């Protein structure tokens, strides 16, 4: 086997190793992405329940209790902010570009 054949063989082996590495990285990435999407779905479900609970409490609150109204309004805004953050993160996971 001459030097040229050795170089070609070495390049083929390196190519094979690189392709295997890419395949492993792709698998790991997709596994992590799937886990993140599943977690985001669970968070969305819980945030939706929290959002509706705060809304129900707010709707049924005595109109004279300003402190409770302010606390519920703050909870409503915080929940809405969290929902937006989760949605933004979900969009980023769908299309990271």
Is 93:40 a contact under the CB 8 Å cutoff? yes
How confident is the model at residue 66, as a pLDDT?
81
pLDDT at residue 31 is higher than 90: yes
Q: Which residue has the higher pLDDT, 70 or 10?
A: 10
Cα Rg of the chain (Å, integer): 26
pTM, full prediction: 0.71
Across 41-45, 69-73, 92-96, which has the greatest mean pLDDT? Answer: 41-45
Q: Which of 74, 76, 83, 39 is nearest to 55 (CA)?
A: 76
């Amino acid at each position: 086997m001459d030097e040229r054949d050795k170089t070609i063989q070495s390049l083929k082996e390196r190519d094979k190793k690189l392709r295997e590495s890419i395949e492993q990285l792709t698998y790991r990435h997709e596994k992590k992405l799937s886990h993140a999407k599943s977690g985001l779905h669970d968070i969305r479900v819980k945030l939706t329940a929290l959002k509706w609970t705060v809304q129900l409490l707010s709707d049924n609150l005595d109109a004279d209790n300003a402190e409770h109204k302010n606390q519920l309004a703050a909870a409503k805004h915080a929940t809405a902010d969290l929902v937006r953050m989760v949605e933004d993160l979900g969009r980023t996971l769908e299309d990271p570009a």
